[in-house]
Structure 1
Amino acid sequence: MVQKIVFITGNENKLKEVKMLLATGESEEPIFELTSANIDLPEMQSGSLEEIAKIKVSEALKHIPKGQAVFVEDTALCFDEYNGLPGAYIKWFMKSMGPEKIVRMLDGFENKGAEAITTVAYGDSEGKIHIFQGRTKGKIVEPRGPPTFGWDCLFEPTEGTGSTYAEMEKKDKNKISQRSKAFAQLKKYLYTQAA
């Protein structure tokens, strides 16, 4: 029987990307069906990405039928020069300032290094919480590429070819992104549990 898993998101771009990341190969039988729910979860204030994700998935488990598996995903953008800030608050910085002003935050600093971190918290059908985390190093650059997916236009990953995430084809971004690394761990866990 195919298990239903709910992804808590109202972001269609994120949902499409996660569906790509969790897709099975052509020869593999799907073991789960991914659905989404747009539930407004409280935004926890914490410097710990794992703690934020755990609290959000615990809240999500209260909103879905008992025995249903669910996951949340939080992505942070951590500036080396600011000891990890804006971190989990990058979403609010983007809404308030936009990419151009965020880049200005590093004016006067030589170090433009940054790390993108995605934390996935998975609440299984028994309510147990599992954490998966992916990290990608890079640097903050002047915005390049479409500004349609958060801060992708200002993050240039070290592993890439000199393009920002926004300039990359989705399949190329998905080979190196922190989100793909975190979801590869979740996917491996799901298939191991089903075996």
Structure 2
Amino acid sequence: MKPPTVYYATSSPFKRAEIDILRKEPLAVGEGADPTPIGDYCDLQFTNVATNEPLEISLNKMVDHKVRSAYRQLLTPCIVEHAGLILEKQESTGFPGGLTQPMWDSLEAQEFLERVGRPGEIAIAQAVVGYCDGVNVWTFVGETKGKLAAEPRGKREFYWDTIFCPDEFGGETYAEICEQPDGLARKLTVSQSAKAMRQFVEHLRNHGPGNLFANVF
């Protein structure tokens, strides 16, 4: 059976590269886990459609609005994603969360470390995937714990990959990991984005793509 087609609203070549790897990976890992490739459950197609992103600390609120704006233009089941860092001491408020990107764009890596977070500070990388079938919106949250690097490291300048060190890789930044053989695939074994995406695909497997007309009659 052909998997349902879902459009992914993103213009990022980095995200597209990650999805191209992830769609070939199993839905789940570990003993007794589903070994079926993610791409067998969901035919993800990329689209450059522009979306509206309100400034919110809450990534969930941002993504809910963002995926609705994508659906209004596409009129077909679609997903969006947004990610940010949450500093451990501000975990209760989720800061900077959805404000991470505008701060990053304004300050860039070194000043972001100097003004927003301290080197070595514990942080949570959070990604939220939003899915809209035309009737309902679901959000799926992935989180990866780590620390902020003392200085930007690595050449893959995708968002804050140069300053975030996941706990699983002994102090290396995401960007440094991606420079190694099969590094991008290794990143995806712990990535907050991959975790959120797997939750979405599992929802699709268990519940189907949804029915636009389910609540009409």
Band of TM-score, shorter chain: 0.7 to 0.9
Mapping 1:43-192, distance limit 5 Å: 43-65=53-75, 68-83=76-91, 84-105=94-115, 112-124=121-133, 126-141=134-149, 142-168=151-177, 169-192=183-206
Give, in whole Å, the separation in 2 of the partners of 1:161 and 1:111. 13
1:149-184 CA-partner distances (Å, limit 9, x unpaired): 111010011122221111111111111111111111
AA at the equivalent of 1:90: T
Give, in whole Å, the separation in 1 of the partners of 2:36 and 2:56. 42
How many positions carry a matched residue from both structures?
191
Q: Counterpart of 1:43 in 2: which secondary structure?
A: coil
Question: Relative to 1, partners in 2 of residues 1:6 and 1:132: Cα closer, same or farther, differing over 3 Å?
Answer: same
Give, in whole Å, the separation in 2 of the partners of 1:89 and 1:155. 16
Question: Relative to 1, partners in 2 of residues 1:111 and 1:152: Cα closer, same or farther, differing over 3 Å?
Answer: closer
Aligned sequence identity (%): 27
Unmatched segments (≥5 aa) in structure 1: none
Displacement of 1:45 after TM fit?
A: 2.2
Displacement of 1:147 after TM fit?
A: 4.2
Give, in whole Å, the separation in 2 of the partners of 1:164 and 1:147. 10
Q: Counterpart of 1:57 in 2: which secondary structure?
A: helix
Which residue pairs with 2:22 in the alignment?
Answer: 21
Asked if 2 retains the 8 angstrom alpha-carbon contact of 1:6 and 1:69, the reply is yes
Which residue pairs with 1:12 in the alignment?
Answer: 13
Displacement of 1:22 after TM fit?
A: 3.2
Asked if 1 retains the 8 angstrom alpha-carbon contact of 2:124 and 2:143, the reply is yes
Higher strand share: 1
Question: Relative to 1, partners in 2 of residues 1:155 and 1:97: Cα closer, same or farther, differing over 3 Å?
Answer: same
Unmatched segments (≥5 aa) in structure 2: 27-34, 178-182, 210-217
